[in-house]
Amino acid sequence: MWLFGTEAGLRWALAHAEDAAGGNLHIEGARGTLATAVLIDRVRYDADGTVVEARDVGGHAHLAAALGGRLVIEPLHIGALDIAIGEGGRRATQPPLLPFGLRLGQVDVERLRIARAEAVYSLRKVRFVHIALGPAVPASVSAEGSFALEHERFPLDATLALGGTLERLELRLGLRQAQTVADVQATLAPFRPQHIVALEARAAPIDPARLEADLPHAALTLHLTVTGGDRGLQGSVELTNSAAGPVDKNQLPLAALRARVASKDLASAVLEELRVELAGGGLLEGRGELGPQGFRGTVRAKALNLRALRSTLRETALSGPLELDLGQDEQSVRGTLEQAGMTVSADAMRRGDTVDVRRLRAAAQGGELTGSGRLRLTDPLAFEANLELAHFDPAAFGDYPAGSLSGTVQAQGRLAAEPRIDVGWSIADSTLLELPFTTKGSARIAGRHVLQADATASLGATRASVHGSFGAPPDKLVWTLDTSHLEELLDELAGRIQASGTLGGTWGAPQGVIDAQFEDLELPRGYTIPGGSVKLAGTLARHEAQVSARTAAAEVRARLRGGYAAGTWSGEIVSLEGAGKVPFTLRAPTPLKLSRASIELGRLEAGLGDGRLLVRELAWSRERIASSGEFAGLPAQWLVAAAGLTERLRATMLLDGQWTISGSPSLDGTLHVRRASGDLAVLGERPVELGVSGVTLDARFTSAGVGARLDFASRYASAAAGGQIGRDAAAGVLGLGPNSPLLVQGQVELSRTRVLVQPLLADARLDGRIAADLEAGGTLGAPVFSGTLRGDALAFEYPPYGVYLKNGELRAKLAGDTLQVERLNIQAGEGSFSASGTLPLRFADGNAKLAWQAKNFGVLERPDMRLIASGEGEAGFDGKRFSLSGELRAERGHFELERERIPKLGEDVVISGEPHATPQEKAPLPVQLNVDLDLGSNLSVRMQGLEGKLTGRINVVTSKEGELRAYGKLTTVNATFYAYGQKLQVDPGVLIFDGPIENPALQVTAWRRNQAVEAGVQLSGTMRAPIVQIVSQPQVSEGERLSWLVLGRAPTDANKADLGLLQAAAGALLARGNSMPLDRRIAQSFGLDEVSFRGTGELQDRVLAFGKRVSDRLYLSYEQGLGTVASNLVKIDYSLSRRWSLRAETGTSSGGGLFYRFSWD
C-alpha cells in the first residue's frame, strides 16, 4: 500500500523507471500517488537522436486494470508535447515487445510540435478518445482522435483512426481546409524496408486561387492510388478539373491529368503514360522522371487549341513535340507546334539567375514574328527583348485587328516595385484594318512616369503624334490627331476631325488642354453636323469645356464646367444657345451630374423662340426616375427629326405641354400635350399641307400602368385613340415591357386619301375615303387586333399602263392576326372586279386566300393597249409562294406594239475593258399558276407587221421547278402581215403550246394573193428553232417565188433598174426594227394602201403612184408623171380570177384591157 498510496512510493517508482531507461528518461516535479492522480511538470526522453519532451502532464492510473496485465491511464492531459526526430538513427526492424497492454483514454494534448530536420509541424487541440496497444506479438493497435494543424494561412482540421497491428498498421486520415476535403486510407508496415503497403487518397475541390491570389480559379479533384512491394511503389495519379477555362477569364485550362507512377524510394518517381487533357480538346502525351535533381520529360501536343488557353486567340489544332528539362541548376523548355498554315516554336534555358529565350517564332499566313530575349532573376528583375515582324497578321492568331506588320520592337529594363523600361519600335510598309499603317517611336517608363516619349503614327487618312513626358507635375505631353475620313476608324460615324492638345499632371490628377474641330460629321440615323468645335481645359477634378456645332437649321453653342471623381461627373451647364429657325437660350446655369448608372439635371429654364422650356427636375437611375416641367412653343419638327422622318414630313407646328412623372419602383404622374399653332406637310414633288386643326395627348401613369388618349384632326384626316397599357413587373421603373397587358380602342378616318398619298407616288394616283374602328388587346409584345375597315369611292389610276379603277368599295374585319375581306368591289370601264377572303397581318406567315371575280372589267384602257376581261378564280400565299388559279376570258381588246426597240447584244459579245458577265440561271417563278386564258373572238393585235385578230384558249401553269408552261392553241383570224413592202394574208396562223410558254410550235403562212403565182412566207418548227421558207401556189422555182413575193410579177417582166426591188429594200432599211415599211406607214397615215414610185430605169418614165384597195378584187390607183412631160393617169384593176383580170384607165391617155397571167417553171 505504501507504493501505491503515498507520494514517496510514487517517487520511488519513477526513480526506478529512470534507472531502467539507462539515463535516457528524466522526470521533474512529480506529485500525487499511483492510486489516485499523478501530476508531473516535465518528462524528457532522449535516445538515438530523438527527443520527446512533455510538460504539464496529468493523469489517472487504474490499478485494477494492472491486475489483468494492462496499464490504463484515463484521462491523460499534456499541456505541451515536443518531438524532435534526429537524422541517422538506427531503424528498428521489429516492433517492441510490451510486457503488458496499454490503454490511454480521453487523451488531451493542448499543443504538439514535431520537428525533423528543417520541417516543423505544429498541432493543437489533439484529442484521442482512446489509444490502445496489445501485449501480444504482433501487438494490436487501436486509436481514434482529432487534431488541428496550425498554419498562418491554411490551418487544417483532421481526424485520425488507427487499427491493425504494429507490423501492419491500418490508417484512416481525414483533412478539411475551408471547403476542401481530403480522405487518406493507408496500410503501413513501419518495420519493413517499404513502409507503404497500400495507399489511396482523394481531395476535392481544390481551388488554386485560394492558395495564391494570383493563381487562376479551378475545381480540382485529386485521386492517388499506390501499392508497395519489393519493386517499390506502383500506382496511378488522376487530377480532374470541372471548371476548366481560359486564363484570361482567370481559369485554369487544364481539364485532366492522368499518369502511372513508379518509385523505389520516394526520392524519385517515373511518370509513364502521362496524359494531360486541356480545355478545348487539346492533349499532351508522354513520360517523365521526377527526382532530387528535378523533372525531365518529353511530351507531344495534339490538337492544341489556343482559344481554349486564351479566349482572344484563334481556334487552332496545333501538334508537335515539347522537351522539358527542369533540373536544380539548369532548366530548359523547347518545342515546335504546327498545323496547316501556322507554326509556333520556342527554345528557352535557365542557368543560375539567367533565363535566355534563345528563339521565339510565331508564323501564320505568310507572316511571322521572331524574337529573343534575356531575363535576369536578380533583385530587381532585369530583362531585354528583341522582336522582328515580317508581314505579321495579328488576326491570324486571335481576335485582333487584321493587318500585315513589318518592323522591329526593342525593350529593356528592370522589373522592380517601380519598373524602369526603355522601349522603341519601328513599323513601316504595313497595313492595319485594310489601311496603310506606319508608326515609329520610343519612350522610357519609370514606374508611373513616362519620359522622353516621341512617337508618330499614320493609319489610312489618319495622322497622330505624341511628344514629351507625363506623370510628374512639371511634365507635358503634346499630342495631335488629324483624320479626314473618320469612317475608316468608326463604322457609324463619318467626317473630318482635327485635334491637338497637351497632357500634364499625374496619373492621379491629370490636367490638359483639348482643341478639336470637326467638319461634315455624319452621325447614326442620318444626322449630319456640317461643322463645329470642342475646347476643353483644366484638370480631371475641375475643367471647363466649350462646344459649338453648326447644322443646316441652327448653330448651337454650349459651355460646361465641372469635374470628374469616383465615376461621376458633376458640374453645370453654364450657357446654351442656339440660332436658327427656332432660337433657344438657357436663361440660367443648370446643375448636371452624370454617371454610368444615373443622370441628375437641376432646374433648367430656356427660351424657345417665342416659347419656353422649363425642366423643374430630371433624375434617372436604375431604381428611380423623376421629372417634371412644362413647355410652350416646342417645335414639332424636333420630334419628326428624332423619329427619322425628315425626308417624309415637315412640321411648322408648335406644341404646348406639361408633365409630372416619378417612379420608385413604379411610375406615377401625368403628361399633357396640345397643338398651339402651325401645320404638318407631307413632302414630295409638291408638298401637301395637311391643315392640322388640333392635336392633343393626355396620359396618366399609375402603379397599374399607363392610360392615354390621343386626338388628331386635320383637313384631310382625323384620328382618336385611347386605352390602357398595364404594368410589366419585369420591365423596371418604366414598367412597359413585352408582358404589359394592352387594351386600346381607336378610330381613323381619311377623307381625301389622294392628297395624303400623292406625294409618295410617282406616276400613279390613289383616291377615296378610308375609315377604321380598331381595338387592340393581349400584351404589348403579342398584341391581338380586332375591328372593322371601310373604304368608299376608292380609285386607282396608273396612266402609263392605262389602268383606271373607280367607284371602289371595301368592307373588312380585323380578327386577331387575320384581316377578313368581306367585300371588295371596284369598277373599270363598263365592268367590275370583286374579291373576298382572308389576309394575315403578318403576310410572311402565309395562309392568305382570296376569291376573285371579274365581269367586263376594263383591265387596260390605253389607246394602244385595251383589254376588257371576265373571269373568276382564287389567289393565295402559303408563306413561300403566291398562287393564282381560275379562268379569264378576253371580251374584247386591242394591242399595238409598233415601238422601235434598241438592239440587244448577244450573250457571246464581250465589250473590251469590261468584265465578262457570268451566265446566270433563270430564277424559278415565285408564283404557282393554273389559269385558263380564253382570248375570245374580239381581240385584235398590231405588232411587228402583223394585223388581225387572235382567238384560242391556253392553260398557263407552273411546274414543280417554277417554270412557266402553257397548253393549248392560238389562231389568227383575218390577219395580214407586212413583209418585203407587201401586205400578205396570213392563212393559216396557228401557235400550239405544249410545254414552255416561250417555245410554242409554229404553223404560220403569209400569202400574197390574187396574182398568177400566189407566193408567201411559211414559218414552222418552234419559236426557239423556227424554220422559214418561201412557198407558192402553183409551185415555181425558188427565185420566181421570191420575185412574185417581192415584185408581184415573174422575173422576166423586171426591168434593168427594177425600182420596186429598190423600194422594198429602202423600206426595209428605213423601217429599222419595224416590220411595216416606211412607205406603208406614210400611206396608212393618209388612209391609203400604197404610196410608191413606178416606172423604168429612165427618169422621164418615173411616176408617183397612190393606191387604195377597195376590196379583195378591186384596186384603185392614181399616177403622176415626174418626167419632163407632165402626165397623170387613173387606173381601176378588177380580178376576175387567179389568172384573169380587167383594167380601165383614163387621164393623159385612156384605155382598157383583159389580162391573162400564166407561168411555168
Residue 514: pLDDT band by 50, 70, 90 thresholds? very high
Side chain identity at 459, as an amino acid letter?
A: L
Query: Which H or E run contains 1068?
Result: helix 1059-1071
| The pLDDT of residue 946 is above 70 | yes
Residue from 1122, 1107, 1121 nearest 1149 by CA: 1121
Residue 871: pLDDT band by 50, 70, 90 thresholds? very high
> Could you give the CA distance from residue 111 to residue 1084 in angstroms, rounded to a whole number?
131
- Contact (Cβ atoms closer than 8 angstroms) between residue 357 and residue 348: yes
Q: What is the pLDDT of residues 220-273, one digit of tens each?
A: 999 999 888 878 888 999 999 998 888 888 888 888 989 998 887 767 888 888
Query: For residues 44, 49, 50 and 56, what is the CA-based torsion angle, rounded to 10 degrees?
Result: 20
**Those residues with Cβ within 8 angstroms of residue 462's Cβ, 6 or more apart along the chain or in another chain:** 481, 482, 483, 485, 488, 489
> Could you give the CA distance from residue 607 to residue 669 in angstroms, rounded to a whole number?
25
Residue from 372, 445, 453 nearest 414 by CA: 445
Q: What is the pLDDT of residue 20?
A: 67
Pairing state between β 939-943 and 882-897: parallel
Q: What is the pLDDT of residue 1068?
A: 45
Residue from 164, 85, 150, 140 nearest 111 by CA: 150
> Could you give the CA distance from residue 595 to residue 566 in angstroms, rounded to a whole number?
9
| The pLDDT of residue 901 is above 50 | no
Q: What is the pLDDT of residues 767-820, one digit of tens each?
A: 889 999 999 888 888 888 899 999 999 888 888 878 898 999 999 998 878 889
**Those residues with Cβ within 8 angstroms of residue 732's Cβ, 6 or more apart along the chain or in another chain:** 622
Residue from 648, 597, 894, 603 nearest 757 by CA: 648
SS3 609: coil
Q: What does the DSSP assignment read for 1087-1143?
A: T-SEEEEES-SSGGG-EEEEEEE-SSSEEEEEEEE-SSS--EEEEEEEESSSSEEEE
Q: What is the pLDDT of residues 992-1016, one digit of tens each?
A: 989 887 888 989 898 888 888 888 8
Q: What is the pLDDT of residue 755?
A: 66
SS3 1066: helix
**Those residues with Cβ within 8 angstroms of residue 1009's Cβ, 6 or more apart along the chain or in another chain:** 985, 1112
The torsion angles phi and psi of 371, rounded to 5 degrees, stand at -170, 175
> Could you give the CA distance from residue 169 to residue 140 in angstroms, rounded to a whole number?
9
| The pLDDT of residue 1075 is above 60 | no
> Could you give the CA distance from residue 481 to residue 498 in angstroms, rounded to a whole number?
6
pLDDT greater at residue 344 or residue 1060:
344
| The pLDDT of residue 1071 is above 50 | no
- Contact (Cβ atoms closer than 8 angstroms) between residue 224 and residue 235: yes
Q: What is the pLDDT of residues 624-645, one digit of tens each?
A: 889 999 999 888 887 887 777 7
Q: How far is CA 581 from CA 16, 493, 553, 638, 654, in A?
A: 118, 26, 6, 12, 12
Query: Which H or E run contains 1064?
Result: helix 1059-1071
Other Cβ atoms less than 10 A from the Cβ of 644: the count is: 12
Q: How far is CA 584 from CA 602, 637, 1158, in A?
A: 18, 14, 102
Residue 355: pLDDT band by 50, 70, 90 thresholds? confident
Sign of CA dihedral 133, 139, 143, 148: positive
- Contact (Cβ atoms closer than 8 angstroms) between residue 382 and residue 414: yes
C-alpha cell at 393: 497578321
- Contact (Cβ atoms closer than 8 angstroms) between residue 952 and residue 938: no
Query: For residues 816, 817, 823 and 828, what is the CA-based torsion angle, rounded to 10 degrees?
Result: 150
- Contact (Cβ atoms closer than 8 angstroms) between residue 10 and residue 33: yes
Q: What is the pLDDT of residues 269-310, one digit of tens each?
A: 888 888 888 887 788 888 888 877 777 888 888 888 888 888
SS3 382: strand
B/e letters for 538-573, b = 16+ CB within 10 Å, e = fewer, are: eebeebebbbbbbbeeebbbbbbbbebeeeeebbbb
Burial of 912 (0-12, 13-18, 19+ CB in 10 A): exposed
C-alpha cell at 780: 404589348
Q: What is the pLDDT of residue 1140?
A: 80
Q: Hey, which residues does 1034 pair with through a beta bridge?
A: none
Query: Which H or E run contains 977?
Result: strand 964-979
Residue from 50, 52, 2, 59 nearest 30 by CA: 59
> Could you give the CA distance from residue 506 to residue 982 in angstroms, rounded to a whole number?
100
Residue 492: pLDDT band by 50, 70, 90 thresholds? confident
- Written in H, E and C, the secondary structure of 417-465 is CCCEEEEEEEEEEEEECCEEEEEEEEEEEECCEEEEEEEEEEECCEEEE
Mean pLDDT of 64-89: 74
- Contact (Cβ atoms closer than 8 angstroms) between residue 541 and residue 561: no
Q: What is the pLDDT of residues 663-695, one digit of tens each?
A: 776 778 999 999 999 998 888 777 888 889 999
Query: For residues 559, 563, 568 and 574, what is the CA-based torsion angle, rounded to 10 degrees?
Result: -20
Mean pLDDT of 835-853: 83
- Contact (Cβ atoms closer than 8 angstroms) between residue 337 and residue 344: yes
Percent of the chain with pLDDT over 90: 24
pTM: 0.53
Query: Which H or E run contains 757?
Result: helix 753-757
Average per-residue pLDDT in the chain?
A: 83
- Contact (Cβ atoms closer than 8 angstroms) between residue 69 and residue 10: no
The torsion angles phi and psi of 117, rounded to 5 degrees, stand at 55, -125
| The pLDDT of residue 99 is above 70 | no
Sign of CA dihedral 1036, 1040, 1041, 1047: negative
Mean pLDDT of 608-619: 88
B/e letters for 57-68, b = 16+ CB within 10 Å, e = fewer, are: bebbbeeebeee
Query: Which H or E run contains 1070?
Result: helix 1059-1071
- The length of the chain is 1161
| The pLDDT of residue 977 is above 90 | no
Mean pLDDT of 97-118: 77
Mean pLDDT of 138-161: 81
Other Cβ atoms less than 10 A from the Cβ of 42: the count is: 15
Q: What is the pLDDT of residues 729-773, one digit of tens each?
A: 777 666 778 888 999 999 999 887 776 666 656 677 888 899 999
C-alpha cell at 356: 535566355
Q: What is the pLDDT of residue 902?
A: 40
Query: For residues 970, 974, 978 and 980, what is the CA-based torsion angle, rounded to 10 degrees?
Result: 100
Q: What is the pLDDT of residues 115-145, one digit of tens each?
A: 876 777 788 888 888 888 777 666 788 888 8
Domain boundaries, the chain: 2-87+98-214+223-227, 623-752+769-781, 1076-1161
Query: For residues 1145, 1150, 1156 and 1157, what is the CA-based torsion angle, rounded to 10 degrees?
Result: -60
> Could you give the CA distance from residue 316 to residue 280 in angstroms, rounded to a whole number?
10
> Could you give the CA distance from residue 599 to residue 585 in angstroms, rounded to a whole number?
22
Residue 919: pLDDT band by 50, 70, 90 thresholds? low
Q: What is the pLDDT of residues 454-473, one digit of tens each?
A: 999 999 999 999 999 998 88
Residue 1062: pLDDT band by 50, 70, 90 thresholds? very low
Side chain identity at 649, as an amino acid letter?
A: L
How open is the CA angle 590-591-597, to the nearest 5 degrees? 130
| The pLDDT of residue 1099 is above 70 | no
| The pLDDT of residue 4 is above 70 | no
Q: What is the pLDDT of residues 402-451, one digit of tens each?
A: 899 999 999 999 887 788 999 999 999 999 988 999 999 999 998 888 99
C-alpha cell at 697: 395627348
Phi-psi region of 320 (alpha: psi -120 to 50; beta: other; left: phi over 0): left
| The pLDDT of residue 1100 is above 60 | no
Q: What is the pLDDT of residues 551-578, one digit of tens each?
A: 776 789 999 999 998 889 999 999 999 8
